[in-house]
A and B are shown apart, each in its own frame.
Chain A
Amino acid sequence: MSLKKINQVKSDRGFKIWDLLVYGLILAAAAALLIAVFVRRDNNPLKGIIITVGEETALTYDFETGIAEYTDVEQGGMIEVEQQTESLFVFSVRRGKHYNRVRIDKSARTVKVIAADCSRNDCVYTSAIKDNSGMIYCSPNDMKIMPYDYHESPDIII
């Protein structure tokens, strides 16, 4: 390296205005990328769910208050409660001879169908509802579980 170049480098020590501008832009780009990744996801926590059979509401469950509203099978409703603990609520949604067994995990705020008597058991294979884009639909038994603030999922199985 020539003496002239060494002197030039020495005199350039510290940050010039262009260095600051470029570093600033890099930071802004990183922040924008992070925001872009997280804003696209609808990961709002599940507030509650509504279970319908046909056009009738069988049960609603509110995670905020922990209140479940339903009518028991014995009182002419469609819900047969099997287990109710601090963290779990397991029940069957019954219509005639048909049923879908549902587990609500109160602490994890998830809802899943764990057994059913429908032919293909698609509802049982459907992933648990974890946020507002989840939904479980059992076509043979006409049973649907939807979040309060339902957001349509971009993933469809045909």
Chain B
Amino acid sequence: MKKFAAALLCCAACLFAAGCGDKTGGTEGYTSLGKSWFDIMNTNASLAISEKFDEESREKMSRLCDDVSSILYGVNSSLSLSVETSSAARFNSAAAGETVPLDKLAYDVFNLAEEMYELTEGYYNPAVYYSVNHYKFNMGYPEVHAEDLPDEQTLAAYTDLASHFGEIQLYIGEDGAYYAKKPQYTVTCGEEELSLKIDLGGIGKGYAVDLINDKIDEYGFKYGSFDFGSSSMAIKSHYSQGDYKISFTNPRPIPSDEATRSYGYLYVGNKCLSSSGDYENCYTLGGKRYCHVIDPFTGTPVSIEDTPAMSCTVIGDSAAYADALTTALMAMATHEGWEHTAGFVNEKLQGWFVAFTIQLGDDNFGLFRNGDFTVTDDRFVIME
């Protein structure tokens, strides 16, 4: 009897071992093909597909790259503010109360932005345009002086104007074309009268990632990933490992300790994700960090507060949602505190993985996460 049991155990071990080595149907012969696109929405994008490539699948990959190019250039020409003819740029240059024709893509992204504005209680607000501009976060690596920063009165005008984002009217005309009517509301700032302006760059990138993710499925590729500006990604399966190991950038690494470049990791497959942090697109002035994530209720960068959110990562089925959520949750966690934000995540974002970090002291950080996550930097204390 014991011998039968031993024999069965051995058979099970053999089957297990065979399963480990052949997780994705055999890894022999797989290669990866990649292509990068530069300067789309002021950033770069990369596609990598792994496959046992033959002539037919190479040709398929080439057609996929063409489709990805069309999507990326389409998003850029529709939403980029540096393209004067884009729907977003034309909306911004329109007068208060004016109706602006939109292309279909811009109409969809405007609708999505309004949905996220509602869902996040106004913490996702693309109408923080004037703050972003005044703090020079849309200018690459700017040289900023203390006298360049906005005063309280200016910030109050900016936040007042941004609070009217929900009043943009979107509709399809009788001619079947898409339109957005700009709110009538204006504020006076110095001698200037300002109307509402938007920046849909973040959510637009996520929207492109979602379209490209669907396109990869349409072509039948199972293994690979698409990365738009490092902060927005679609992850399929890895051809040999199954799930990807996703390490989260540490917002406060110890320069002499390379192990602290990341503060933790998890394994992910077939999901979209977005991450945002106060370590990107930021500058220091008077010992204070100024980052590109703006609290729409104060008009200021979240990083100048006493216990700011440092980073946020959201993983789920849509990169556009995830993009809007990372920004919103960083602002919410800074403005309302982590408990309120954790409650919001647990109540409204079921099915999504969320991790955000808070600066509690110089070398003392808090981490909220609502799923399996391995922490590798012991300066991070789990908040629950």
Which A residues form the contact surface with B (CB < 8 A)? 18-19, 21-22, 25-26, 28-29, 32-33, 35-37, 39-40, 42, 54-55, 119-120, 125, 137, 139, 142, 144, 146, 149-152, 154-158
Contact = CB atoms under 8 A, between A and B. Distances in A.
Given A25-B11, A40-B241, A142-B44, A35 B249 contact: no
SS of A interface (majority)? mixed
Contact of B10 (A28, A35, A137, A142): A28
Given A22-B3, A35-B21, A39-B27, A158 B14 contact: no
A95 B243 CA distance: 37
Interface in B4-37: 6-7, 10-11, 13-14, 17-18, 20-21, 23, 27-28, 30-34, 36
Contacts of A40: 20-21, 23, 27, 240-241
A33 B13 contact: yes
Contacts of A155: 244-245, 247
B238 to A, nearest CB: 4
Contacts of A39: 21, 27-28
Contacts of B308: none
Contacts of B6: 22, 25
B376 interface: no
B275 interface: yes
B38 A55 contact: yes
Contacts, number: 113
Interface string B225-243: 1000011010100111101
A112 B21 CA distance: 30
B313 interface: yes
Closest 4 interchain pairs by CB? A25-B10, A36-B21, A32-B17, A154-B241
A95 to B, nearest CB: 12
Contacts of A37: 20-21
A157 B262 contact: yes
Contacts of A125: 258, 261
Contacts of A25: 6-7, 10-11, 14
Nearest to B49: A152
Contacts of A33: 13, 17
B239 A152 contact: yes
Given A152-B32, A154-B240, A158-B230, 19 more contacts: A22-B6, A25-B14, A32-B18, A32-B21, A33-B17, A54-B38, A55-B38, A120-B279, A139-B43, A139-B44, A142-B38, A142-B44, A146-B34, A152-B48, A152-B223, A154-B241, A156-B244, A158-B233, A158-B247
A156 B245 contact: yes
18 contacts: A22-B3, A22-B6, A22-B10, A25-B6, A25-B7, A29-B13, A33-B13, A35-B17, A36-B20, A37-B21, A40-B241, A139-B44, A139-B230, A150-B32, A152-B48, A154-B243, A154-B245, A158-B273
Contacts of A42: 27, 240
Contacts of B36: 55, 144
